Structure 1
Amino acid sequence: MRLANNRPSGHAVGAMARPAAVTLCMSLIVASLLATQSGCLGLAANLIHAAGGDKAPAAYEGLEESRVAVVTLTENSQFSDDPSARILGRNVTQLLKQQIKDIEIVREDKIANWRDTHGWDQLEFAEIGRGVDADKVLAIEVANLKLRDGATLYRGRADVVITVVDAKTGEQLYRSEMEEFTYPTTAGQYTSETTESRFQKLYLGVLAKRVARQFYPYDPRDDFALDSIVAR
């Protein structure tokens, strides 16, 4: 599968959310005032966390209050269903439902039925969106997916392009590229310690979080514990 190289037009890409920025500023002001009082540093930190001021803002917030079709493509899914595409798409969908206000996700089977009728090699995302009555299409294109680093070590890697397309106009609203996303970043998991199926689910679950969090505020500290998951 060839990843597209066209750039977005119209809407600004990755704009920071104003409400998140305002919340952060207000939280910092409150924290600075409290910090001048003895014993209030812990309270200030807790207030910032409670207000969401320590979260990184969404790169794109336009999925709110929209009906969205999540279309996940791998090199093996262009002509038929593929387990990796299905697992990744379901994980992303679940996270979006949990984190984004008033989002409606088109059912997976409805998208699959449309592709069965019109061909699995149909990659016109706007047309897919119109066919399933979506407002927007979140397209996740995965290339060069590998789960092994040598014969005895599991270590995932993939190139990913994330695109949001307006189903009505075909306009590209957002685009992001993740080149050689690798997990675990510093080591791996020996093939004697797990199965390929289990590691596949683990890797695609981590990748799904990296994809989905581009559309809602998230805690950057979550990244520090990622590699420790393989040790469990």
Structure 2
Amino acid sequence: MNKSIFARSATWFTFASVLLSLVLATQVGCLGLLSNFMHAVGADKVPADYKDAKKLAKGRLAIVTLADNSEYSDNISARLLSRNVREILTRELSGVSLVREDEIADWRDSNGWDKVDFAAIGKGVKADKVIGIELRNLRLRDGATLYRGRSDATVVVIDVPTGEVLYRRDLDEYTYPTTAGQYTSETTESRFRKLYLGMLATQIGRSFHAYDFSDTVAIDGAIASQ
């Protein structure tokens, strides 16, 4: 009798163990499916810092960058930064209509590069909104033999008809690479400038679109591809 009870208990224990294993396996599978689903719909991404970013796709949007000395003439760093941000928003904001780069340059040629009022530039190129970027204190070297970029940047969204500032973000002392740097013997200043401004544009772009947090990990690795 006792043996029979023991046998039934052992059988039940085995059955319960198998059942528990199946339940756990199913749960793990469901978690995997849930994770994949969340990734597919973008639910696992860090949201855009500017909450009304999708509204930028309504109407014409101008991207204007002002850098040190760009109030007097065209500035290669300002031009590269604007171009990089344009490419990011074209890719990330569905349906966005951007004012052409040459339209902005032509208007500034005609009206003077000393015009630093983003709303005035926006009106001049018939934009509805302007993303204005102020790039200050850009430095590409850390000593005589090392490239390591630093700058201060301010990003604003201007409603052109009213001149209202809808959004503002300050990027103070943005540094890339965050550790070490790249020796001047390994690259040129022109190539490093493009790399640094591309990374800064990525940070600015994340104000306006959701992104995967894992993309922020080990960003210094981009140096290896240069």
Same fold (TM over 0.5): yes
Other-structure match for 2:215: 222
Q: CA deviation digits over 1:152-208, x for unaligned, max 9?
A: 100000000001111111011110000000000011001111111110000000111
CA distance in 2, matches of 1:44, 1:140: 39
- Conserved in 2, the CA contact under 8 Å of 1:35 and 1:41? no
Q: How many residues align?
A: 199
Shift of 1:38: 4.2
Instruction: Give TM-score, length-normalised by structure 2.
Output: 0.84
Other-structure match for 2:3: none
- Conserved in 2, the CA contact under 8 Å of 1:66 and 1:102? no
Moved over 6 A (4+): none
RMSD, aligned CA: 1.5
Other-structure match for 2:14: none
2:201 to 197, 203, 208: 208
Unaligned runs of 5+ in 1: 1-33
2:120 to 121, 124, 127: 127
CA distance in 1, matches of 2:69, 2:142: 20
Other-structure match for 1:92: 85
Identity of aligned residues (%): 58
How do 1:1-232 residues align onto structure 2 when only pairs under 5 Å count? 37-60=27-50, 61=53, 62-232=55-225
Instruction: Give TM-score, length-normalised by structure 1.
Output: 0.82
Shift of 1:87: 0.6
Unaligned runs of 5+ in 2: 1-23
Cα distance change, pair 44–151 in 1 and its aligned pair in 2 (3 A): same
CA distance in 2, matches of 1:76, 1:94: 24
> SS in structure 2 opposite 1:200?
helix
CA distance in 2, matches of 1:134, 1:196: 34
Q: CA deviation digits over 1:34-61, x for unaligned, max 9?
A: 9962433322221121121111111221
CA distance in 2, matches of 1:145, 1:35: 54
Other-structure match for 1:8: none
Shift of 1:125: 1.1
CA distance in 2, matches of 1:199, 1:35: 49
> SS in structure 1 opposite 2:191?
helix
Larger Rg: 2
CA distance in 2, matches of 1:35, 1:142: 53
Q: CA deviation digits over 1:51-100, x for unaligned, max 9?
A: 21111111221312231111001102111011111111000001111110
